[in-house]
Amino acid sequence: MTLLIVTIIVLLMAVSLLLFVPWGRAQSPDRNEMNRAFYHARLQELEQDNAPVSPEQRARMVEELQQNLLQDIPDEPGSRDARASSRWILLPAVLLLAAVSIGVFLKTSGVSKVREWQAVTQQTPALMQRVMDPNAQPLNMEEMARLGLGLRTRLQDDPTNVQAWQMLGRIGMVLNNASTATEAFERAWKLAPDNTSVRLDYAEVLTRSADPQDNQQGGAMLREMLRADHTNIRVLSLLAFNAFEQKQYQEAIGAWQIMLRLLPANDERRAVIERSVAQAKVESGVDNVKLAVTITLTPEAKKTLPENGILFISVTDGESNVPVAVKKLPLSHFPLSLTLDDTDAMMSNRPLSGLHRGVVKVHISQNGRPEPQSGDWLGESATIALPAQGPVAVEVSRQQP
C-alpha cells in the first residue's frame, strides 16, 4: 500500500514537470541562439568577401547587422518577467490534476476495503485461539467470516498447511458457502489423501452438494473408507445420509442398522436412527405397515348415533395421547372394517411402521371436532404389538360425560 502511494506521488510530480519544462525553456533561448549564430555567420562572410568595398561601407554593414541582432534579441526585463509569470498559470492545472487523480484513486481503489482486510489479518491469531479453546466464547457469523478471510490470506503464503485448509472448509460449511468449503476440503485432501479426517471432511461436503456427480464421488469415497473400517460411525452416518438422498433406501437402511448394532443402548442417537430407518422403509415401500381395524357398536351407542357425525380412528404409542396416525371418515354402517398405514401418519418423520406397540382409538364426533365433547361415543383397544397379526377389534361402548 505504501509503495503504491509513493508511486502515485512520483508519477504526479513527473507529469507536473512535463507541463512546466516546455514553457520554461522551449521558446526564447533556442531562437536567440539561432539569431546570434546567423549574426556571426554574416560577419564571417563580410570578412571573407573580396569585393571592393570601402571601409565606411563595411562599417555601415556591420552596424546594420548589429542593429538587426538587437531587434531580434530583446533584453527587456518586462518580457522576462512575463515569461516567468506565465509558468505559474499552469499551477492550477497541476493542482486540479492532483485532485482528480487522488479522487479517482480513492473512489476506485477500495482503500477502505484494504484497511479492513489489514485489520482482519491482525485479528486472525486471536480468532484462531478462540476457535481452538473449548472454554472460549464461540465465534458469531461475522467473526467466522473474518477468520475465513484471515485464513485465506495466510494460505497465500503457506499453501501447504492442511490444518488451515480444513479450518477454512469448516468455516465455509458454517457460513453455508458451498464453493469455499468444497475448494478448501479438496485442497486439503490433495495435500493429505491418506488422512482419514481430511477424507471424511471432503466426502461430507461432496455428499451435501447439489451436483449429482459430487454426490456420486462422495458416496464412492465413503464406501472405500467403510471397506477399510466398517466400525467408523461417522462414515456410516454420512453413507446412510448420502444413500437416502440418492433414493438408495436399502443401502441407507443397512448403514443405519449397522450403526444401531455399534451404538450403546443408552445412546441418544439411537432414537433418531430408528426413525430414519422407519422413514427409509416407508419411502422404499418395503415396510409400509397396514393396520386392519374392525369397529363395532354397543346397542346403546347404535341407538344414539348422530345423523351427521364424523368418525375419527387414531393410533397412539400407548404412552402419549398424541396420535401417530389418524383417519377421518363420515359415519357409515357398522360393523366397519378399514385399514391404516403410513400415509395416515401425522408427521412424515414418525410413521406408523415405526411403532413397536400401540393403541387404536375410535371417536364418533357429533360436530366434527377431533376433541371429545360431551355426548360423543368412544372406543379403545388394548395395547397391541405392531405390526399386528390380524385385524384389531375396537368396540365403541363409552360416552363422553
Please give the torsion angle defined by the CA atoms of residues 177, 179, 183 and 188, in that order, rounded to the nearest 10 degrees.
30
Place of cell 555601415: 60
User: Which grid cell is 65?
Assistant: 547587422
For 166-179, what is each residue's pLDDT tens digit?
A: 988 888 888 888 88
User: Among 10-19, 74-83, 212-221, 247-256, where is mean pLDDT lowest?
Assistant: 74-83
Least confident of 136-140, 214-218, 248-252: 136-140
How far apart (Å, rounded) are the C-alpha atoms in residues 148 and 127? 10
Amino acid of residue 211: D
What's the rounded mean pLDDT across residues 284-294?
Answer: 76
Centroid of chain to Cα 143? 15
For residue 251, give the H/E element and its range. helix 249-262
Q: What is the DSSP letter of 122?
A: H
Bridge partners for 363 per DSSP: 312, 378
- How many CB atoms are located within 10 Å of the residue 399 CB? 16
Contacts with 72 (C-beta within 8 Å, 6 or more apart), sequence order:
31, 32, 35
| Strand pairing category for 392-399 and 291-297 | parallel
Question: How many whole angstroms separate alpha carbon 152 and alpha carbon 181?
Answer: 12
- Model-wide pTM > 0.85: no
Residue 188 near residue 201 (C-beta atoms within 8 A): yes
Q: Where are the beta strands (DSSP E) in 277-343?
A: 291-297, 310-316, 325-330, 336-340
Cell of 76: 527587456
pLDDT digits (tens, 9 = 90+) for 84-124: 555 566 667 667 767 777 777 666 665 566 566 566 667 77
Decide: 182 and 146 in contact? Cβ < 8 Å. no
For residue 180, give the amino acid letter.
Answer: T
Residue 29 has pLDDT above 60, yes or no: no
Which pLDDT band holds residue 24 (cuts at 50, 70, 90)?
very low
Domains parsed from the chain with CATH numbers:
2-108 (no CATH), 113-284 (1.25.40.10), 291-399 (2.60.40)
Instruction: Provide the pLDDT confidence category of residue 351 given band limits of 50, 70 and 90.
Output: confident
* Average pLDDT estimate for 187-202: 92
